[in-house]
Chains A and B, each alone.
Chain A
Amino acid sequence: MAARVVIAGGGSGATILANALDHRRFEVTMVSASLEHLFQPALLYIAFKGAPVNPVRDQRKLLAKKVALLHDRVTRVDLPRQRVETASGENLDYDYLVLATGMGTDPAQIPGLAEISARFGDYHSTVAQARKLWQSLQAFGGGTIVLGQSSPICKCPPSPIEGILLADELLRARHLRQRSRLVFFTPYPRPYPAAPINELVEPILADRGIEVMRFFDVDRIDAASSTIHSIEGDEVHFDLPIIVPPFVGADIAYEPPDVVDPDRFVITDQRTLRVKGMDNVFAIGDGANLPTSKAGVGAHLEAGVVARTLQGRPASFNGRTNCPFDLAGGRGTFVIGSYDAPVVKLRPSRLHHAMKMLFGRIYWLSLRGWLEPAFRLYFGITAPPSRRAGAP
C-alpha cells in the first residue's frame, strides 16, 4: 500500500517534491491555498523595468497527473495525531508530512508601513504591488528614493541591492539621476551582509553615487512627514520609499506549538530537514528556520533531499546557496556558499547576468524535474570549497 504524503504548500519546493516522488510508492496530496503559481523573481523586473511578463501559471498544470491537489488553506497541524486540518474543514491523515508553507509579508509589524506600501507598492508581495511600484517610479520626477529592508528576515537577500541598482539605472535612462538622491539603508554593518559579496557590491554603490545607511533597522514610518525612523535612532526623509516588508511564517496552529519560532518559522534540523522531534515530518523552503538564505534554490535542493530520504536513499542538506544577483548594466554575480563553505566572491560578468535571465525562462520546466541532471551537473561544478575537510 502506498504511503500517504501530504505536502502543505504549493510553491517551488512543494511542486518539485510532489513531482519527484515515486507515485507508485507514494500517494501524494498537495494542499495549496492558491491555484496560481508565482515565479517570484519576476517581481523585481516588473517593478523596476515594467517587464510585460505574466509570472503566474496554473498550479494544476505544473503537477504530475498522480499528484492530488487540494485547493485549500492549512489551518492546523496536529503532529502527534498525524493530521492536517484545512479552512474548509478537511482532515487529512498522513504517513509523511512536508511543510512547504513559505513565508508572507507582514507590514503590520512596522507602524506606517502598510500605508506606505498601499500608496507606493513593493516588489516582494504580489504582481499588483510590483506594478504599483513601477507606476510610482514612472511618476517620480526627482527627489529622494529610499530603499531598504525593514527587517533582517528577507526573501532573496540580493533583492534590496538589486532594487537600488535598477532604480539608479532607470533614473539615468530617464535623465533624472542628477535631480535625485538614492539612499540605501540596511540593518547590517555593510550593504551586503556576506563580506565577500560586499567587497564587490560596495564599490559599485559608491561608483553610482548611492548613499548607504548601515545598522538602520526600521522602527516606524511617519507618512505625514515622509520620514523613516530606525531603532538605532537615525532617520531619513523620502519622496519615494521602497521598503522590503518584514516576513513571517504561515499562520498555522501547531500541536505541539513549540515547533515554530516567534516569527512562525518551523524549527527544522539543518541537515535532515526533519521538524523538531519528528521522524516523519519535514520542512523545506522559506517556511523552515534554516540558517541559510530564503531563496528558491534552497527550496529546490531541500525538495531533492526530502525526496531521496523518503525513497530510502541517504541524503543531507548542506545549506547550499546559489542566489543570482543582478548588478544592473547587464552584469551579475551569484551568491554561492553552504553551511561548510564561506560565500565565494564571483567576479561580476555578463555571463552571470545571462544565467539569471536564462533561469527565468527555464523555471517552469525545472518544477517538473526534467532538468535535474543539468542542475546536478551545475551544482557539482560550482560547489564552493568547504572550509573543513570531510564536510558533507
Chain B
Amino acid sequence: MRTQLKLRVFIGLIVLVCGIGGGAAGVLAQSSGAPAASEVENLKKQMAVMEEQLRQLRLQVEKLAGQPAAPGSAGQPAASTDESATQKRLNEVEGKADAALAATKKTFASQFNPSISLAIDTIGSYKSNAQGFNPGDGTGTRDAGGRINNTRPAGADFNLRTAELFISADVDPFTRAYAVINASADAANADEATLGVEEAAIVTTRLPYNLTVRGGRFFADFGMLPHRHTHDLPFVDRPPSIDTFIGGESQTNGVEVSWLAPTPFYLRASGTVGNKLGIDSRDGVSNVNSRPIKGLTYMGRLQTYFDFNDDHNIEFGGSVAETPNAEDITNSGRFERRLVGMDFRYRWYPLGSGVRQSLTVAGEVLHDLGEADPVNGGRRIDVFGNPVRQGAWGGYVYAEYRLSKQWRPGFRFDYFQLQSEPLLVTNPFTGLPASTLNATGHRTDNRTWSPYLTWFPSEFQRLRLQYNRSDRGNAQDANEFFLQWTVFLGSHSHGFSERE
C-alpha cells in the first residue's frame, strides 16, 4: 500500500511539473509572439517521452498491485491488496452499469407516440371501356357508372390508389383510438393526391357485459368485405356489386355498440347509428338541411362461426341497413333506403400445412329493397314521378387457393342488377304507359368474371394480377387488366376484423 502511495505521489509530481512547464511554455509563446516550429516539435517530443514514462510507471504499479507483498515487508497483507484491486474493478463495473442504466432512463415526449403504419397501393391497368356499369343520363349530373371504374380514365393508366396512414394507440385505461388517413390520386385534379380521413374513431376497452362502443367516423360493421380498406381486399378492385349497392367502403359517421355473446361458440352482434352508409353514398348525406332522427341510417349485424373440425370452418353473417327517411338530394324529397346482406366464408386450413396450402370460399349477397336508387342516389321514381320500391339483387362469390406461402390464385364472380332509369313502356294490351311494369323495374344484369393471382414475396409486400371480364346490362362490355403492387411499412398487425 505504501509503495503505491509513493508511486502516486511521484506520478503526481511529474504531472505537476508537466503542467507548470506547459503553462510556462504557453506564457512564453504568448510573450514572444508565434512560437518557432522547432520549439513546438521539442515540446511534443518531451510530451511523448513523459507519456512513455507514465505508461511504464503505470505498468509497474499494476505489476506491484498484482504481486503478493514480500514476506516481512511493512506493507498490508496480500489479501487486502487483492481486495482493493477487486474493489476497484467492481467500482469500475458499477460505474459503467450506472452510466448505462442512466442512459436508458432518458425520457422523450415521443415515447407516447402512437404506432404508425403506411400502406402504399399502386395500380397499373388497361381498360377497354371507360364506361361504367350504367351510362347514366348523359348529362353528367347523374353519371351513374360503377364507381370504381369511372373515376379513372380508360385505356392505359397508372394510379396511386392509396397512400394510407394508419395511426393507433390507447388513449387511457378506458379507450383506444385509431385513424386512417388516406391520400389517393385524384383523376379529376391532375392526379394530385387528395387527402381524406377515412376513419377516425374512439373505441372503448373495458365496458362490462362484453360490450364495446365505437364512435366517430369508421367503416360500419356491415357485411364481410364492405368494411375492409380497398388495399386489404383479396382482389384488386372492390366487388362491383358491393361497390354499387354500398358505394365504396361502408363508411359512416356515428356510434356503434357491439356485443360478444357469452356463448361457447362465437356470436357477435352490433348495432350502429350513423349519418350514412358508404363512403361514396349520396343517399341522405346532404348536411345542408335539418335532418330528422329518421333521416339517420340504422345498421345491425349478427355473425357467427363454427369449426367443423380442426381443418374446416365456416362463418356466417347477416346485416341490415335502414334509412327510414333519407333525404333525396337530387329531387329534394324523402325516401326510404333499405339494404339487407348475407355473407358466408368457408375455410379449409389444415393445421399442419395451412400456411402453404389452404382454400377459402366466400360470398356475399345484397338485396336492396328500399326506394333508394343505389346507383344514381336519391329516390327512385317511375315515369309519373311516383316513388318506386324495387328489389335489386347483387353479390359475389370467390374462391382462393393457397398454393404455397407465396402464391395464391383465385377466381371471383360478381353479379348485380341495376335499376335503370324507368323508361316509358307501353302496356301492349291497353296501349297506356305501364307504370306497374316500371315499378317492377327495368333491371339490367351485370356480370363480372375475375381470375386473379397474388404473389407475396413477404408478409409486407404483395403483387397481384387480375383480369375482369364484365358483361354489362346497358353499357358496353369491358375487359380490364390490373397489376397491383402493395407494400406495408411499420407496424402492420392485422386486427380481428381484417383476419384472413
> Are A and B physically bound partners?
no
